[in-house]
Amino acid sequence: MSTSGSPNPSGHDQPPEKRSRATYEEEGKDDSASVESVSRDRGGGMLDGDERRQISRRANVDDDDDNYADYDDNDDNDDLSVVTFTNDDTVVEDCDEQERDDVDHNSMDRRHYRNMDLDKESGTFFYKDGTDIDAQEGIPAVDEYQKKSPRDMKEVRVSFGLAREVMLATLIHEYDTFHQKCRDLNIPLENEGLYQHLFGEESRLVTAMKRDLKLDHPTIYEFLATFYFAAEFRSPAKRLQEHSRVNYDGYMDQEPLNKIWRAIADAGKNGESPVYFWQDVESALNEDCREFFLTFSGQRHPIRVAWDDDKVHLQFSTHDVRSDPHFLCGGQAHQHTMSNCRGLTIHSAILAASGFPVGFRTSRQGESEHQCYETLLRFMFAYYFTVSGAAHLGLDNIIFCSDRGYWTPALILLILSFGGTVFGTIKRSYWVPFTYNQKRQDKREQIETKYGRSIFVAFSRWGEYMLKIMAWRGGTGNVSLAMNSDCSEDQLVTMEFKLKNSADAKWYHDKDLTRDQRKLKAFQQISGIDISKEDLDKVDAHIQHSLNVVMLTCTDLDFMWFTLRMFAITSSSSVASIKRAAPHIPPTAPNRPAFVNVLGYSGLLSHLGSLNRTSASTSSDEEDDEDGLTIDAALVSKMVKLMRRPTQNIANQCADFAGQIKDAVGNGSLVDATMQAMLVELGINRDRAITTPSNKMKTLLRQWITSIQNVRSVPDVDENSNEESSDEDSQDSASSPNVITYNFPYDKLLNAKEIEAMLVSRAGSALRKGELPGNLQHPTKKDQRILVLQTIDNDASFQPARYSNEVDHDPLRDAIVSGIVSKAFLRPQEGKEKSAAKLGHQNEQKYLKQYFKDGKEGKVPGVKPLCIQRCGMAMHGDKSYVRDSADAIAFELKNDDDQAAVEDDEIEDYFDPIKSHLVECKSRSGAGYEGSLRQAKNIRSIVARELGHGAIAAIARGDPVYLEVSSSQRDLFERLIPTNSERIQILHHAFTYGRNKTAFLVGDPHGTVMFGLIVTFEQDLLRDYGLLLDYLYENGLNLFYGETIDDLPVDLVEDILMSDSNLKRKYTLDDFMTQLMICRECLPDSPSKVLHPIPECSMNVPLDYALWNSSKGGSDTVTRFVWNCLPVLPVKTPQTTLVARFLMNYAVLFHRTSQSIGGTKKPDIGEDTIESIRDRNNKRQPFHKTMSWLHSRLRQSAKESRERNALSSS
């Protein structure tokens, strides 16, 4: 398929598609045909008066082509349909108008797309005129796109406020260009200058009204003044005239006003004029818009044009149309579905950044939407098509933005053939490779809406141009489809973070800001506002030099905070990983003592794997009897694999192992955590295993053990054969004559969902291809799936390695990765839990202020803070995988004892006069939430008893009590902080920041501190915690931190996601990979060169969607302006309605241009946004204020014109 322009008429050997637009401009080859065709059409079209008259009065053409309603699924945005009036007085709605091209464009080559029609059955375009040229493929088939899902991507890029910068730079350029154009036209940059150009006696609008309506200037001005006056108040002029509190002097009386509206209703119907009056007003408006914004030369900065449709509501009947052939005045009637009424449609083109209107065109009878767009497009950019042979470059640097209701393959090909860029959202259609909520199955890829955030892309060439189709699943139950032709096939996806406060952009992108200066941005002072400048400087120096952390974010609970807490050891994921990894720590592990110390501190020592090892030997000749056998999940995993097509010797060996496991189960030497891990290796869902009672776990293990011991027998092979088992042995045993039949007890151990998951894991590919062993190829019931699994276990001819998704499991690694993955996506809180968490965040600042006040008053032992500051997410200075988000950090002045306690190797701390500690706040509320209010009161009583009678009296007064406690006081510590996750949390705070103290504040729902614990940690505990984290990193977490993600066990991650019932319902592997790539890119030293800390972010979407969000507002606000000041007409016909809407569009044009020249503050690309500029403009000069100025000035013009006429007549 070719999209090149016309053959090169200049005779150059260089093909036109390879020649730049500037080359043609230098050669000065004018396309006279193109200029002539544009100049013929006063209405912004391509036809002269007679031709346009003929088309506008032509009967409606029925569209017999099939529509694609089955594919389009009646999208909500598709609320426009053509109304056709037939001879039997019925109304037919045609929802998918097919392109009909009735005009021969002599200036373009026959091979262009506009000379082709789309055959929907074959998906190809063909030439209407029957010319002997090979048919070209119009659009690629949906299965011809090259698709990329997140699991196929290796990396992404991230940006911060890039969409804001792009749109703001475009707005500034459009403002500057318009101001320069006004200077070129000698228009003063003030309201009066704009008014004279748009509404003066020599203006296009007034000239058209004078010519077509035969009115003099005073009458025209008085009519316009009355129209805008009534529109400002959205009331009929008659009501304003009769209102006692309205000054109606200078406005038109009702009788002459109605007379003019009746004249407008009939203007052009008598045949004296080649066009209807509304077409002349439309033409004048389009020429004014084009003159202002699209006639400048040397366009190099890209501009974005937003397409939109303005629905003009007008109820009418079939009888009205049949009784008067000119009733619609050439307009095309539509049924507006969402508003459930009939009317007309005006297509508008708006500069997306500045909101300047650049073109309008009403849908006409006998004209397809494609023709309508092309006519408007050619008129708007007539000055871009003035070079012969360069039409395919005419729209270079022009980006056309539209929502999903506009784009059709014909329109896309039209814009691409002129060198333009198509951009915007699209609806589900037969030519889009992605779809969602689609009941009909076809070749398009279904994107499930219920899962998390993922981006899917597809590339294909449309002729000479690459088109990118995107599907973004935002995680809120919606999927959005978009496209962009400004792309390349190897282009990486860019994820845009929108900064919540635009002022943060200025300092964030300031290249002169040092790393130390940036670090301070992550701390916000909430207490100690009266601190002296000298002490504040000391605190800043302490933050910059003594805190060995990298501040990643400036706040918490924003999009960036949720992103960077993933795939790292945080205070919450640390607990999960420790709990899951502890049962798998071998007794000989070098860091096991560290686990013992940390788990003993946190009360999780029972999770640690058993220290006992059996003395039974697996062979009479074994030399390592003293090592014995470790009974854990790894042993169970090995036995499960060995018992698939085992020999009798292997079965006997596994029976021995099973006997030792049975003994360990019976004597109680296996802790619950170890048995849970064993059940997971047997195929039981991890969530189910965790919630299974101890007795039930023992029962399940005994059932599995019994199944193995039942196949035990005396081996009939050589006693001297090697009985050492290995994976290779089990594979070779498939062809051994001694292979026995063993049936795993699927029905006794696993439920239906677990059996289905195991079948998919072991033979997923064979299941999809119908290549399962036996006759049962599509098992749907539990018994059928068990039969297939048993067949796979025992059929030597079936090679599961070809179809299996299983990976070699390392139980320790799996447990660590599982803990990290399970906490990567925070579980949504609901009900009381959500309310309690929200209340806690609201009360944090109250707790911190009270803690600061009590510390100042000496009520907190050993603490006298200078100030307390909130802080964002921190990353350990030496361990990038350790991150933390404390509630606050308190700063104090050191005393003599503190200086003496500084060790010799801490020289920096010795000269630092400031010390600091972390603060963690907890709010206790209802009994249904962990850490209830009643429990907090009991703990407060324990604190009071430790402190003595004075504390009891303080409680009676309602004052908080504070106690110093050491982490070495294990018994007291467990009573004061009974929740093990909270113990790990405060330890994690201290370790990440390199401090040895954390304040633990507990308050009530009213924001009052009940008690506080000043916890001091032993250095041995901090050191062991660091060793424990290192062990977790080296044995599983490091998979997420390689140079690439190629080494990441994707199948393992997917298996973990699918085994967690909470995660499986909400997330897929694509969601996981999307977040992993974003998280990796947001860390220091990434290819995106992200600066830290990152300001608060309010949104995270692909850059294309961020640009669309900034682009779509321009056209939407034009419609909003008009609807906010909607005129009430005394004579309502199709022509009066259209004229009134165009007059309102004139007011919008005046309003937007007036806003651009007003105001003293110019747009600042450093800190402004499109939204902030629009908000500033609208506050300074709202639309109703412009309307008020306009009708007052028109009333004055009527008076001045009448005085001039009187003076000239006298």
DSSP secondary structure string for all residues of 408-436? -HHHHHHHHHTT-EEEEEE---TT-SEES
Q: What is the pLDDT of residues 523-550, one digit of tens each?
A: 998 876 678 889 899 999 999 999 999 9
Please report which helix (H) or strand (E) contains residue 966, including its range: strand 961-966
Lowest-confidence segment of 478-487, 815-824, 1201-1210 by average pLDDT: 815-824
Q: In the block, which residue shows the tokens 């319902």?
A: 1065
Report the candidate in 864, 889, 863, 1009 with the shortest Cα–Cα distance to residue 525.
889
Is 975 in contact with 939 (CB distance < 8 Å)?
A: yes
| Residue 1116 binned pLDDT confidence (cut-offs 50, 70, 90) | low
Please tell me the distance from the alpha carbon of residue 1161 to that of residue 18, in angstroms, as a whole number: 44
pLDDT (0 to 100) of residue 1149? 94
pLDDT band at residue 1190 under the 50/70/90 scheme: very high
Share of the chain above pLDDT 70, in %: 78
* Identity of residue 435: T
- Find how far residue 445's CA is from the centre of its chain: 20
| pLDDT over threshold 70, residue 961 | yes
Q: What are phi and psi of 481, to 5 degrees?
A: -105, 140
The 8-class DSSP code of residue 566 comes to T
129: number of Cβ within 10 Å: 9
- Give the span between the Cα atoms of 874 and 994, in whole angstroms: 11
Least confident of 448-462, 538-552, 599-613, 989-1003: 599-613
Whether pLDDT at 668 is above 60? yes
- The pLDDT tens digits for 678-711 are 888 888 887 788 888 989 999 999 999 999 888 8
Residue 802 backbone phi and psi in degrees, to 5: -70, -25
Confidence bin at 627 (pLDDT 50/70/90): very low
Q: Which residue has the tokens 């308050």?
A: 1003
Sign of the alpha-carbon torsion through 940, 943, 947, 949: positive
Q: How many CA atoms lie within 13 A of 291 on its CB side?
A: 18
Look at residues 65, 69, 72 and name the one whose alpha carbon lies nearest to residue 404: 72
Q: What span, in angstroms and rounded, lies between the C-alpha atoms of 562 and 1145?
A: 45
Residue 1093, preceding bond cis, omega within 30 degrees? Answer: yes
Rounded Cα distance, 86 and 64, in Å: 14
Provide φ and ψ at 403, rounded to 5°. -85, 180
Distance between the two ends of the chain, CA-based, in angstroms?
A: 72
Question: Is the pLDDT assigned to residue 138 strictly greater than 90?
Answer: no
Q: Rounded to whole angstroms, how far apart are CA atoms 220 and 257?
A: 10
Using the 8-state DSSP alphabet, how is residue 1204 labeled? H
Taking phi over 0 as left and psi of -120 to 50 as alpha, with beta for the rest, 551 belongs to beta
Tokens representing 380?
A: 């708007």
Quote the pLDDT of residue 897.
62
Is 1013 strand, coil or helix?
A: strand
Q: How far, in Å, CA of 982 to CA of 243, rounded?
A: 70
pTM (two decimals): 0.75
Rounded Cα distance between 820 and 1072, Å, is 12
- Token pair of 568, please? 């790292």
| Strand pairing report for 997-1003 and 914-923 | parallel
> Most distant CA pair in the chain: distance in Å?
136
C-alpha span between 659 and 1112 (Å, rounded) = 70
Dist. CA 259–CA 70, nearest whole Å:
50
Name the CA dihedral angle for 780, 782, 788, 793, rounded to a multiple of 10 degrees: 150
For residue 1192, which amino acid is it?
S
Mean pLDDT of the chain: 78
Going from the C-alpha of 251 to that of each of 224, 226, 1144, the distances in angstroms are 9, 5, 18
Residue 479 phi, psi (nearest 5)? -130, 135
| HSE-CB for 572 with a 13 A CA cutoff | 13
Cα–Cα distance for residue pair 982/572, rounded to 1 Å? 9
Q: Do 495 and 156 meet the contact criterion of CB atoms below 8 Å apart?
A: yes
pLDDT digits (tens, 9 = 90+) for 226-269: 999 999 998 999 999 998 888 999 899 999 999 999 999 998 88
Amino acid at 192: E
Name the residue with tokens 């113990």: 983
Nearest C-alpha neighbor of 42 from the set 231, 253, 290, 223: 290
DSSP-derived 3-state class of residue 126: strand
Residue 243: partners with Cβ closer than 8 Å, 6 or more residues away: none
What is the β-pairing status of strands 445-446 and 434-435?
A: parallel
Q: Give the span between the Cα atoms of 582 and 580, in whole angstroms.
A: 6
Helix, strand, coil fractions of the chain, as percent rounded to 5: 45, 15, 40
Q: CA 141 to CA 673: how far, in whole Å?
A: 53
Query: Letter for the amino acid at 1044?
Result: T
In 3D, which of 545, 556, 559 has the Cα closest to residue 515? 545
Residue with tokens 């730049």: 20
For residue 191, what is the DSSP state?
H
Token pair belonging to 585: 């720590």
Q: Distance (Å, rounded) from C-alpha 644 to C-alpha 699?
A: 23
* Average pLDDT of the segment spanning 53-77: 34
Backbone angles phi, psi at 1010, to 5 degrees: -90, -50
Q: What is the pLDDT of residue 1121?
A: 83
Q: How far apart are CA 1128 and CA 993, in angstroms?
A: 67
Q: Give the total residue count for the chain.
A: 1210
Q: Kindly give the pairing relationship between strand 549-551 and strand 865-871.
A: unpaired
- Tell me the CB-side half-sphere exposure of residue 644, using CA atoms within 13 A: 23
pLDDT tens digits, 738-789: 788 888 898 888 888 888 877 777 766 666 666 677 666 677 788 888 888 8
Question: By CB neighbour count within 10 A (0-12 exposed, 13-18 middle, 19+ buried), where does 169 fall?
Answer: middle
DSSP H or E segment with residue 664: helix 648-667
Q: How many helices (H) and strands (E) does the chain have?
A: 46, 29
The answer to whether 976 and 942 have CB atoms below 8 angstroms apart is yes
pLDDT of residue 771: 67
The token duo for 924 is 């206790």
Rounded Cα distance between 1087 and 455, Å, is 20
| Averaged pLDDT, 1155-1165 | 82
pLDDT per residue over 1048-1075, tens digit each?
878 777 777 776 666 777 888 888 899 9
In sequence order, what are the beta bridge partners of 922?
A: 1002
919-947 pLDDT, tens digit per residue, is 999 888 764 445 588 888 899 999 998 88
